[in-house]
Structure 1
């Protein structure tokens, strides 16, 4: 850990929080991740050894605690760790408002779909909804399936045993654009960077479920 050796609380907090990946680890914990594998799924470029070191540092400073139990280690935020939530949220809002949109090279289809599902907790469908997603410019024209239910949302790269209710074909930048609030779904559909196939009520339900990133402060019109 880098030491600024200053009395200033900003400097002291930066010693703990400003190391690479630390804020993203906290973001995953704030989203409800507990198992190390759950946290790792949200930081795919981070090595297991570095994740272990960052968790150990956060435990040592009282922001995180290990959950007693057998099997895979679990972690949860302490009161001090939960108090970081508004700071992380404000950092996200600042980045959304002031920084340029991410370059295509910075977009990751797996991570984008995972983020969408993680943030669906308050807008899940009233009945199960299965969505086949084809991202045309992802490696190997990747396909994913979203399994949406009143209780949770899961993304997987293997087809379920039943047919999807909706098929979504899109470009990675098209889906990222509507998710980040940079473009309306209606405009993306008109430009055919996002194409839906399925009953209109199921499509509307999907659009509602997707919503926008929590850091977007502009309300979009529905399709």
Structure 2
């Protein structure tokens, strides 16, 4: 259980990922063969079960014992945020970061109406545009430009977005530094910020 990647696989499953593709999306640098190995190990230890389904893609679900690890995973996340050095630019992945943001929004912070946020990450390698769909029922992230007109546009650097989300600095400070820039109707921008908030692992000592 102390093998590399195991806790990250558990983290993704604690967020609701069941399909192999969904788990893999949250750990993009993990090879497919290693993910298979870790899922087998978790299954052997009674923390995960394979869910029968009609599709070719396997689905996995946490057992009660697996779900019981949530406080431990959360505590390790808070410990890492406090004691480990901030991630460097090479350690950041915009897609993973945006998925992390959406996955951590609690239901009581979902907006009262549907909001579309167009995101442009100015220093992201490869894909640089995404859009977020925020609604009363959930939050999802998608690559490319939104099909409908965006309510809010966010232009940011990868480090600026990560710093504000992880609590290294406040959203206001990031906006003043122009590393995170929101445009749109003021009430829509406020609703997006209230929905997104900060990571549950974030430091509260922001300026």
Q: TM-score, normalised to structure 2's length?
A: 0.94
CA RMSD of aligned residues (A): 1.5
Change (3 A) 1:219 1:209: farther
Question: 1:205 maps to what in 2?
Answer: 191
The DSSP-based 3-state class of the residue aligned with 2:149 is coil
Residue 89 (1) aligns with residue 70 (2): no
Kept after mapping to 2: 8 A contact 1:130/1:147: yes
Residues 143-222 of structure 1 aligned to structure 2 (within 5 Å): 143-218=129-204
Question: 1:62 maps to what in 2?
Answer: 46
In the TM superposition, residue 30 of structure 1 has moved relative to its aligned partner by 0.8
Change (3 A) 1:79 1:140: closer
In the TM superposition, residue 200 of structure 1 has moved relative to its aligned partner by 0.1
Worse-matched range after superposition: 195-204 or 70-79: 70-79
Kept after mapping to 2: 8 A contact 1:34/1:74: yes
Unaligned runs of 5+ in 2: none
Residue 25 (1) aligns with residue 13 (2): no
The 4+ residue runs of structure 1 with deviation greater than 6 A are: none
Kept after mapping to 1: 8 A contact 2:166/2:203: no
Worse-matched range after superposition: 81-90 or 105-114: 81-90
The total of aligned residue pairs comes to 205
In the TM superposition, residue 159 of structure 1 has moved relative to its aligned partner by 2.2
Unaligned runs of 5+ in 1: 1-16
Kept after mapping to 2: 8 A contact 1:134/1:141: no
Q: TM-score, normalised to structure 1's length?
A: 0.88
Kept after mapping to 1: 8 A contact 2:118/2:146: no
Q: Which structure's relative contact order is higher, taking Cα pairs within 8 Å and 6+ residues apart?
A: 2
